Amino acid sequence: MNARLQAAPDQVETRNTTCYMCACRCGIRVHLKKGEVRYIEGNPEHPLNQGVICAKGASGIMKQYSPARLTQPLRRKAGAERGAGEFEPISWDEAFGLMEERLRKIRATDPKKFALFTGRDQMQALTGLFARQFGTPNYAAHGGFCSVNMAAGMIYTIGGSFWEFGGPDLDRAKLFVMIGTAEDHHSNPLKIAISKFKRRGGRFISINPVRTGYSAIADEWIPIRPGTDGALLLALTHEIINTGLYDRGFLARYSDSGHLINQDPASAQYGMPVRAGVPPKGDNPDHHHDQLWWDRHSGRAVPNHAPDADPALFGDYRLDDGTPVKPVFQLLMERVGEYTPEWAEAITGIPARRIRGLAHEMGITARDQKIELPIAWTDSWGKEHNTVTGNPVAFHAMRGLAAHSNGFHTIRTLAILMSLLGTIDRPGGFRHKAPFPRAIPPVAKPPKGPEAVQPDTPLASLALGWPAGPDDLSVDAEGGPVRIDKAFSWEYPLAVHGMMHNVITNAWRGDPYRIDTLLIFMANMAWNSTMNTVEVRKMLNDRDEQGEYKIPFLIVCDAFQSEMTAFADLVLPDTTYLERHDVMSMLDRPISEFDGPVDSVRIPVVPPKGECKPFQEVLIELASRLKFPAFVTADGARKFRDYPDFIVNYQTEPGSGIGFLAGWRGRGGEKAMVGEPNPRQWEMYEKNNCVFHHVLPRSYQYMRNWNQGYHEWAQRTRVRRYTDPIVIQIYSEVLQKFRMAAQGRGESPRRPPAHLRERIATYCDPLPFYYAPLEVQATDTVRYPLAAVTQRPMAMYHSWDSQNAWLRQIHAHNYLFINVKTASALGVADDDWVWVESPHGRVRCMCRSSEAVEPGTVWTWNAIGKAQGAWHLSPDANESQRGFLLNHMISEELQTAGGARFSNSDPVTGQAGWYDVRVRVSKAGADEPAETSPQFAPVPAAPGTSKVRKLWQAFVAGKGDYK
Amino acid sequence: MNPAFSVIFLTTLLGAGQGLFLALFVIEVRVATGLLPAPSTGFYPLGSAIAVVLLATGLLASFFHLGHPERAWRSAAMWRTSWLSREVIVLPAFMAAVAAYGWAHWQGWPGTLLIGVIGAAVCLLLFLCTAMIYACIKFLQEWATPLTLINFVLLGCASGVMLAAALAALRGEPNAFVVGLWAVLLTVAGMVSRIASLWRNARLKPRSNLQTAIGIKHPRIVQKAQGFMGGSFNTREFFHGRTPGTLRAVKWLFIAGAFVIPAALASAGLQAGAPALLVAACAVQFCGLVAERWFFFAQANHPQNLYYQAVS
Amino acid sequence: MTQLALVIDLNVCVGCHACVTSCKEWNTSGEAGFMSDDNPYDRDPTGTFFNRVQTFEVGEFPNTQTVHFPKSCLHCEDPPCVPVCPTGASYKRPEDGIVLVDYDKCIGCKYCSWACPYGVRELDEHQKVMKKCTLCVDRIYDAKLPESERKPACVLACPTSARLYGDIHDEESIVSKAIRESAGYALMPEWGTQPANHYLPRRKTEMRIHEDELERADNPLKIDGRLPKPGAKDPSLDDVTSW
C-alpha cells in the first residue's frame, strides 16, 4: 500500500451474468480488466442472492484460470487402457464426425443403446429434450444419487419440495427446524434467510448427527443417529395428534384427512378412497376429486367439500352400502399409535422428553402465533377468504433425510408433519416456488414399455416422469425394466430422477442389457459421484470375451481433467460458466422466489479458452446433424444456428408461445411467461441483470395448492394445464395402487414379478412407516457399529474445486471426525492413521476427535480426496496422499439373503443410500505408510491442460498472464 | 517463535563484539589508573578490529532477516518510537566508535580514553536497544522483563570478555589472567541471571488464553480448524515445530555450553596457563550462546499461536 | 475522529469462508496486491490471505457449540504493530483509523508481526513485504462506486451479513449500535490494544412452554370426540351428597 492508495482503481469493464459454481445460481457481476477476470461479486440487484456471494463464487477466478482446464477434444490413444489417461488431441470436426456416425447408427437400430447421464440436473430441459428426440429412455441427471427422495417424498405428498421447488418462509417464521441439512444445501439464499431470521429473534433448532455450518448457529442442536429421522418424525406426528396440536381446519379443507378409505378387505377397492363417482365440475381427467367425506353434522358420507359439510377426521363408519370406511386421519392416527416418543428414543438417541417438548414447541408456535395477512383470495371450491393465515413453523431438510433407503417414507412423514401443523404454502411455513405446486403426481410420465422406444423416432413422452400407478412404469411384458438404470421398474417404481448410480454397473453386467455409448456430462462417475469407486473404475475398463469393452464407447464432457475424463474414449472440453450462454428455465428448475416465477440467463463474459465448447452447443450441433425433428425444418434443414438462437426460437409446440425463457417474450419483449419468440430476448435479459422476476399479485402468492385465482393465472400462462386443487395426500393413493398390484388386485393389469411382490407390498405403503435402512438391516451392527456419513464443506460446496488454488488451501485434505469419547474408547487420537472398514471395503485415513458429532457416527468432508494426478494436482498433493473418499466403502448394490441383487437405494424411489453404510474404526499399524488408502496409479496431465507447473503464482488481473 | 538464524547471529555476534570492546576499554581504564599493567601495543587495535568484525558480521547477518535489505536505510526513520530503529542508528555509531578507538590506539593518538568513554556509553545504549527490541513486546511475556536486558548485557559481556581473555592469553599479555578471571565471573553471573529468567519463565502464567482470544467464557474450548491446511506465515514464523523434549535438551545444552563448560575450561586454562583452553572456552561459549539465543526465541510463546492450533 | 472497523456477529457466522476468498479476490488485483500462493497445485498449498475463518468447539457433547471465527486485522486504536516499525511503513491513518502498511517503505523485517498479538499480519513470501487487511481502503473511498458498495469486499460478500462495517466512534453508526446493544466485545483486552474490530457473541432464543398451553378449550380433538369427557351417567359427587 502506498500513496496511490486512494487513487481510483483502473477502469474495468463490468458484466452481469449468473454464477454456476454450484446449483444456487446467484447473480454475479464480473469485472474484467484487459480481458482478464478482475473480480466477481454478487449482484445486489439480483433477487436470489441480493449482492452476496459465497467462498466458491468469489474464487471463480481460480476456476476460470485453473491449469486443469481441458482445452481441446481428446481421443483415447489407440492401445491405451481406459483410466490411464493417455490421449491425443483431435479437432471438433473429427469429434463430431465420430459421434454423429456412432449415434446415427444407434438411433437407426436401437436407440436405448445410447445413454445420456448428466451431473447437472438444472439443464434437464435441454438434455431431456435431446434424449427424448434421440428416442432413448436412458437419460437422467444426478438427482437419483442426490436427493430424489426429497423431491419425490414431498411432491407425492404436497406437490412441492425444498430448494428449487420451495422452501421455508423465514421472513415470517417464528420457529425454524432444520433436519438432515448439510451445510451445502441452498447456499446463499438460505444463509441470508437464516441470518435475518435469527436477528429477528426466531428460534432455530437443528437436528443433525453433526454440528457444523448452519447447525453451528442453531439455538439448539439435537444430535440424532443417521437414518433414524423417520422415527423421530413419526413420534412427533404421534405426539402432535395425541395432544391435538394439529391444525384441524387446514387439514380438513386442504388435505385428504377427511377422505374415506375403503376398509373392506374383501372389496376390490380395499385401501382405496371411496368416491362419489360423479366428478365435480371442471375436474381434471387425470385426477378425480370425488372422494367422500363423513360429514360430522349430518352423520353421513358426502362428496368432499360439500357445502356446509365438515369431515370427521376420526372414527369408523359404514357407507349406505355397508362398506366399512375410515377417514385418512384416523388411519394416520392408528399408524402412528405405536410410534411413541419412547419408541423413538431407543432408535434415534433423542430423549423422549425432548421429542415431546419439540412436538409441543412446534404445535404451540403454530397454534398460538398465527399470522393473519389481509389478503383476500378464493379457494378451489369457491369459498372466499378475507385473510391468509400462517402458522409460523418452518422446516428445511435435504440429503440427510433423503440419502437413506428409508428416506422416501421419512420425507413423506416430514411433509405430513408440516401439513399437520398447517404450514403448506402459508406465511411463515413452507412456500412453493413457481412452477410449483404441481399436481400429485405431476403430469409427465415416463415411457410405459419397450415399445415406446423405436428406431429413428423421438419418445412420445419425456424420459423421466411421475408414475401415478403401475400403468406408468417403464416395464416390459414380464415386468422387467426398460431403462438401463432400472428406474420406473418394479424394483424402484418412483425413481423419478433416474438412478445414475447404477448405470455403469448395469451396463457392465448387461443387466438388463448392454448399451453401446454412454455420454456423461459433468459427473465424476469414476470418483466421488459413484458408489463402490474401486470396482466401478474396473468396470469402466473391463472387456468381454471378444475383447471389446463392456461399455463400448464412453464420451465425457467436462471443463476439467477429472478422474472420470481419464476413462473416456472421447473427451469434450466444456466451457466454464463464464464462457457460455445458459438459461435457468421455467421448463426446468428455475430460480423462482416465493412471490412468483423467476428465470435467468448466463451470458459469456470471457471468450472460451482454447477450443472449449459449451455442452449445450454440442447437443444442438449433434441434434441438428442427426436431424432430430425438433431441430430441423420439415425439409431437413437445420433449424437453429446455435444455442442462443435455439433458446430464443424454440417453442414446445409450434406456436405454443412457451419457450425456455419466460421473460421478454412477444415480438417486442412485451409479454411475460407466454408469447412469440423475441429476437432480442437475450439482450433484454442482459440489460436486466440477466434475470426475469414476475411478481404475482399478493392474492396468488399463498395457498397455491388450492388458490383458484392462482390456478387460473397458471393455466393462462401455461404453467399448469388444469385448475384443479392440489390436495395434500397424507394417504398416498399412488402407493396404494402399487401395493394392490402386488396383492394381485387393482385396476391396473400390471403385476410385479413374483420375487418383487413382497417388496412392493411392503414399501409401497400408502401411509408412512419406519424401517431401518436396508443396508443397516443387512449389516452386523455389532461388528460395524458406527454410521459413516459425509457432507460438503461450504467452501467446496456442490462441486469439485480442488483445482482451485485458493479453495484447496482451505480444504487440502480431510479427516475422519469421531466423537471424543468414541475415539478414546477406540484408542485413537488426533492425527492417528486409522482404518475405516465397512462390509464392502476399507479406507485408511487420519482422524480427528470432535465434540460436535453424535457418538455413533463418524463423518468426513466429501470429495476432498482425489486420485493422484487428477485435477492437475501433483502426485504428492494432499488431496491424494492425505485425502480420502468414503465411497470406497459404500456399495452400489445390496444382496438379499436369497442372493437377489438390488441397488443400494430406497426401494420406492431408487435414491442412493449413501448414508446407510456402517463401519468400524481401528488404529492403523505403526509400520504402515502415512498415506491414505486406496491409492491409484497417477494419471498424466491431459494434452491441452497447462504444461507449466508453477511453484508459486500471484494472480493480478490485467497483466495478460492469464488471458 | 520460530528462531531465525539471522537474528540469532546478529544478537550473539553483537553481544560478543560489545563485550570485547568493553573488556578493552575497562583494561585501558584500569591501566590508566595503575591497577593493571599495560598490554602490548597491538592488543587494543587487534581487539578493536576483532570487535568491528564481529559487529559487522552481526550486521551482515541481520540483512538476511530482511525481505528488502536494499531498503534497510529506511529503518532509521522511526527512532522516536521503535527500538529496532534506534538499534539501527546506534549500531553503526558504535561500530564507528570501536573502529575509531582501535584506529586511535593503532596510530598512538591521545584521547583513546575519551573515545573509549563515548564508545562504552554507545555500547550500553546498544545493549539497551537490542534488548528492548524484545523486552518491549509486552505480550511476549518471556521477553517482557528486565532480565532480558540484564541477560543481553551479561551474556554479551561474558562472551566478549572471554574473547578478550583468550586473545590476551594467546598474545601472552600480562593481563590475561585478570581478564580471564573477569570472563569466568561474568559467565557465572550470566548463568545466574539466565537461570533466573528460566526460573521466571517456567512460572509464567500466560495472560492470553483461548477464552480471551475468541472472547468466549467457557472452560473447554478446542480449535478444530485454523482456516487453512498447508501452513501460512503465521504458522511458519511463530512456531519452532520442535518437541518439548528438544527444547529441554537445548536448554541443558546451552546451560552447559554457554556457562558451565566455558567457565570450567577458562578456569582450567587460567590455572594451567594454557591459552588453548581459553580459546576452546571462547568457541564453546559462542556455540552455547547460539543455542541460548535459539532457545530464547523458541521459548517465547506468542499469543497469536492460540489461533493456529489445528487443521481439519 | 473516525475509527472505521468491522463488527463480526458470531451469532450468525456459519463459517462459509466467503469473506476469505472475496477478500483475496478483491485485493490480489488491487492496491494491496498481489497475494501470492505457493505450491498452488502441489503438496501443502499456502498463500497470503488477509482474513481467515477458524473453527472452535466449545463445551462437551451434547452441549457443544461450534463457533466459526473470522479473523482479520482488528485496526487497534492503540496498535502495537505501528510504533515498533523501524521505517514507518506500518502506520495508522489519523483520518479514519485504518492501520496500513506502505509496501514501498516496508523492509520485510517482520517485527510488526511479532508485535501483533492477534496474528493477523502475513508476510507475502514473494513480494517480501508485510500485508494485512486494509479494510479495502481502495474501495471504501471510491467515488465511482455507488454509496452502498463503498464497503470492504468481505462485508459485501458475507451471505449472513455477519460482518458489519462502520465508524465505531460515531455513536449512531450501525457498528456502534451493534456493539452497544448486542454486547460487542474486543479480543484479548488484556493487552490494552483497543481493537477497533469487535465481535458479537452467540445469543440463544429459547421457548418456554407452560403446561396449561397444552390444555386448550379449542383443542381439535374435542371436535372429533377424541378428548375423554365423562359421560352423563358416570358417577359424580351429585350421586352421593346432598347439601
Contact assignment for A810 to B229 by CB distance below 8 Å:
yes
What does each C-alpha distance from C216 to A174, A290, B124, C219, C227 come to in angstroms? 21, 34, 86, 5, 11
Between C25, C57, C206, which is nearest A852 by CB? C57
CB of C118 less than 8 A from some CB of B: yes
pLDDT over 70 percentage in chain A:
98
CATH number of B5-306: 1.20.1630.10
B297 near C CB under 8 A: no
State the nearest Cα–Cα gap between B95 and chain C, in angstroms.
20
Beta carbons of B229 and A815 less than 8 Å apart:
no
Contact A702, A426 (CB under 8 A): yes
Task: Report strand pairing: C130-131 vs C163-167.
Answer: unpaired
Residue A431 has pLDDT above 50, yes or no: yes
User: pLDDT over 90 for what percent of chain A?
Assistant: 93
Q: CB distance A851–C59 less than 8 Å?
A: yes
Hey, of A815, A817, A882, which one would you mutate to test binding to chain B, going by the most B CBs within 10 A of its CB?
A: A815
Whether the CB of A42 is below 8 Å from some CB of chain C: the reply is yes
* Chain B partners (3+ C-beta pairs within 8 A): A, C
Compare CB distances from C205 to A203, A246, A248 and report the shortest one's residue.
Answer: A203
How many interchain CB pairs under 8 A, B with C? 182
Are the C-beta atoms of B255 and B196 separated by less than 8 Å? no
Report the residue from B224, B229, B230 with minimal CB separation from A850: B224
Amino acid at A686: E
What ranges do the domains of chain B cover? 5-306
Residue A184 has pLDDT above 90, yes or no: no
Q: What cell does A674 get?
A: 407466454
The pLDDT assigned to A658 comes to: 96
pLDDT at A6 over 90: no
Yes or no, beta carbons of A59 and C21 under 8 Å apart: yes
Q: For residue A798, what pLDDT is reported?
A: 62
Specify the pLDDT at position B46: 97
Closest Cα in chain C to A329: C224
| Contact call for B312 and A815, based on CB within 8 A | yes
Who contacts C234 (Cβ-Cβ below 8 Å, separation ≥6)?
A: none
DSSP per-residue letters across A653-669 = STT----S--SSBSTTS
**Average pLDDT taken over every residue of chain C:** 95
The predicted-structure confidence for A280-318, as pLDDT tens digits, reads as follows 766 677 788 999 999 999 999 999 999 999 999 999 999
Nine cell digits for residue A949: 507447473
Does C13 contact A58 at a Cβ distance shorter than 8 Å?
no
Q: C46 vs A809: CB contact, 8 Å cut-off?
A: yes
Q: Is B227 on the interface with A (CB under 8 A)?
A: yes
Q: Is the CB of B229 less than 8 angstroms away from the CB of A811?
A: yes
Is pLDDT of A807 > 50? yes
- Nearest chain C Cα distance for residue B48, angstroms: 29
CB atoms closer than 10 angstroms to residue A290: 15
- Mapped onto helix, strand or coil, the DSSP state of residue A867 is coil
What's the pLDDT tens digit per position in B281-306? Answer: 999 999 999 999 999 999 999 999 99
Q: What is the mean pLDDT of residues A550-565?
A: 96
pLDDT of residue A715: 95
**A321 to chain C, closest Cα gap in Å:** 24
For residues C67 and B227, give the distance between their C-alpha atoms in angstroms, rounded to a whole number: 12
Which residues from chain C sit within 8 angstroms of residue B135, using beta carbons? none
Q: How close does chain A come to B232, measured CA to CA in Å?
A: 10
Using one digit for the tens of pLDDT, what is the confidence trace for A843-881?
Answer: 999 999 999 999 999 999 999 999 999 999 999 999 999
**A239: nearest Cα among A355, A113, A79, A322:** A355
Pick from A196, A812, A955: CB nearest C45: A812
At A799 the pLDDT is 59
Q: Angle at Cα A399 formed by Cα A397 and Cα A404, nearest 5°?
A: 115
Rounded Cα gap, residues C111 and B132, in angstroms: 13
Whether B237 contacts A819, CB under 8 Å: no
**Which of A167, A157, A177, A180 minimizes the C-alpha distance to A230?**
A180
B304 touches chain C (CB under 8 A): yes
Interatomic CA distance for residues A761 and A78, integer angstroms: 51
Q: Is the pLDDT of residue A487 over 80?
A: yes
pLDDT band at C216 (very low <50, low <70, confident <90, very high): confident
Nearest CB among A807, A853, A874 relative to C42 is that of A874
pLDDT exceeds cutoff 50 at A4: no
Q: How confident is the model over A924-935, as pLDDT tens digits?
A: 999 999 999 999
pLDDT for the residue A175:
98
Question: Are A54 and C18 within 8 A, CB to CB?
Answer: yes
**DSSP reduced 3-state for A525:** coil
- Which residue of C28, C104, C216 is in closest CB contact with A2? C104
Q: Which among A67, A876, A954 is the nearest to C34, CB-wise?
A: A954
pLDDT at A91 over 90: yes
Residues in a beta bridge with A557: A521, A572
Q: pLDDT tens digits, residue range B33-75?
A: 999 999 998 999 999 999 999 999 999 999 999 999 999 999 9
Quote the CA–CA distance of A767 and A765 in Å, as a whole number: 5
How many whole angstroms separate alpha carbon A630 and alpha carbon A620? 10
Contacts of B237 in chain C (CB under 8 A): 110, 113, 123
**HEC secondary structure over A531-552:** CCHHHHHHHHCCECCCCCECCC
- Strands C198-200, A175-179: pairing is unpaired
> Which residue is associated with the grid cell 548463568?
B191
HEC-encoded secondary structure of chain B = CCCCHHHHHHHHHHHHHHHHHHHHHHHHHHHHCCCCCCCCCCHHHHHHHHHHHHHHHHHHHHHCCCCCHHHHHHHHCCCCCCHHHHHHHHHHHHHHHHHHHHHHHHHCCCCHHHHHHHHHHHHHHHHHHHHHHHHCCCCCCCCCCHHHHHHHHHHHHHHHHHHHHHHHHHHCCCCHHHHHHHHHHHHHHHHHHHHHHHHHHHCCCCCCCHHHHHCCCCCCEEEEECCCCCCCHHHHHHCCCCCHHHHHHHHHHHHHHHHHHHHHHHHHHHHHCCHHHHHHHHHHHHHHHHHHHHHHHHHCCCHHHHHCCCCC
Chain A: residue nearest B228 by CA?
Answer: A810
d(CA A893, CA A509): 13
Predicted pLDDT of residue B201: 97
- What type of residue sits at position C129? V
Q: Please report the residues numbered 317 through 346 in chain A whose beta carbons come closer than 8 angstroms to any beta carbon of chain C.
A: none
What band does A556 get if pLDDT is binned at 50, 70 and 90?
very high
- A·C CB contacts under 8 A: 281
Q: B149 phi and psi, to 5 degrees?
A: -65, -45
Which residues make beta-bridge pairs with A372?
A: A389
Whole-angstrom Cα distance, residue A940 to residue A219?
Answer: 49
Write out chain B residues lying below 8 Å of A183, CB-based. none
Is the CB of residue B68 less than 8 Å away from at least one CB of chain C? yes
Read off the amino acid at residue A769. F
Are residues C12 and A38, on separate chains, in Cβ contact within 8 Å? no
Q: Is the pLDDT of residue A949 over 90?
A: no
**Per-window interface: A 845-874 vs B, CB < 8 A:** 848, 850-852
Q: Is the dihedral of CA A605, A607, A612, A615 positive or negative?
A: positive
> Could you check whether the bond before residue A512 is cis, i.e. omega within 30 degrees of 0?
yes
- Is the confidence at residue B232, as pLDDT, over 80? yes
Q: For residue A846, what are the β-bridge partners? A: A833
Closest CB to C88 among B1, B69, B78 = B78
- What is the rounded CA–CA span in Å between residue A347 and residue A854? 13
C109/B84 CB distance under 8 A: yes
Query: From the candidates B234, B236, B311, which should be mutated to test the interface with C, based on the most C CB atoms within 10 A?
Result: B234
Instruction: Give A249's contacts in chain C (Cβ within 8 Å).
Output: 220
Task: Find the DSSP H helices in A41-163.
Answer: 60-64, 92-109, 124-134, 148-158
Contact (Cβ atoms closer than 8 angstroms) between residue A561 and residue A943: no
Span A508-538, pLDDT tens digits: 999 999 999 999 999 999 999 999 999 999 9
Beta bridge partners of C53: C70
Asked whether the beta carbons of residue C126 and residue A203 sit closer than 8 angstroms, the reply is no
pLDDT band for A3, please (50, 70, 90 cuts).
very low
| Residues of chain A positioned with their CB less than 8 A from the CB of B230 | 809, 812, 878
What average pLDDT does chain A have?
A: 95
Can you state the angle between helices B112-135 and B146-171, rounded to 10 degrees?
140
Average per-residue pLDDT for chain B: 97
Asked if residue B229 has pLDDT above 70, the reply is yes
Question: Which chain B residues are Cβ-neighbours of C183 within 8 angstroms?
Answer: none
Among C13, C38, C41, the residue with its CB nearest the CB of A872 is C41
Q: Which amino acid is at A598?
A: V
- The pLDDT, as a whole number, for residue A713 is 97
From A810, A848, A851, residue closest to B228, measured CB to CB: A810
CB atoms B237 and C113 under 8 Å: yes
Query: What pLDDT does C230 receive?
Result: 67
B contacts of A815 (beta carbons < 8 Å): 312
Q: How far apart are CA A639 and CA A642, in angstroms?
A: 9
Average pLDDT over residues C104-116: 97
Q: A192–C159: do the CB atoms touch at under 8 Å?
A: yes
Identify the band that residue C233 occupies on the pLDDT scale cut at 50, 70 and 90.
confident
Nearest to C107 among B72, B210, B216 (CB): B72
**Would you say how long chain A is, in residues?**
963
Quote the pLDDT of residue C238: 77
Q: Scan residues 814-853 of A and list those with Cβ closer than 8 Å to C.
A: 819-821, 850-853
